[in-house]
Amino acid sequence: MRPLWEHGRQARFFRRPTVHHRPPAAAARPSRGVDLSVPPSARRPPERYGDLTRGRRRALVAGVAALAVAGAGWLAWAGISAGDKDVHARVLSYDPVDARGVATRVEIRKPRDEEAVCRLRALDRAFATVGRADAVAPAGTEKTVLELTVPTTAQAVNAELVRCALR
């Protein structure tokens, strides 16, 4: 009986197994030119990379520290400005009236003595924006429920809250 890889048409599907030969374990690989018994400071050729003097090292450390402080400052500023949420709002209901608008009820909570503006947008079936409107909560009340119609350029299927801010 012949092995499968010696049959005519089937020979391309059944290949002869490949045997990988490894060198004996006793044969050591040649070194790649790095002597690990030498400390790293001696392995670094100063003529190639320049000699890192004490002054240059201090300048490098000071520069990295300054960048770290600037980055931490920016991160703190971004966190504080993004976390300033004095206005809380939500869409209570929406009803696509016709191709010209979406009737929307919005609840806005804010400080009593401040005025808030919330941006609403109407979306179609493909999630494209087909209308925008601003809901203004006047000063004097903490919780305001507004009913407004978001005008649209095409048939909308929903309305969503984009953002709110104090005036």
* Residue 123 located in a structural domain: yes
Q: Please report, for the domain that includes residue 142, its CATH number.
A: 2.60.40
Ramachandran category for residue 109: left, alpha or beta (phi over 0 → left; psi -120 to 50 → alpha): beta
Stated pTM of the model:
0.52
* Whether the predicted pLDDT of 10 surpasses 90: no
- What are 36-82's pLDDT values in tens digits? 676 666 666 666 666 667 888 899 999 999 999 999 999 998 887 77
Q: Which domain holds residue 107?
A: 88-166
What number of helices (H) and strands (E) belong to the chain? Answer: 3, 6
* Residue 37 located in a structural domain: no
Q: How many CB atoms lie within 10 A of CB 101?
A: 19
What is the total count of domains within the chain? 1
Which has the closest alpha carbon to 156: 77, 98, 79? 98
* Residue 136 located in a structural domain: yes
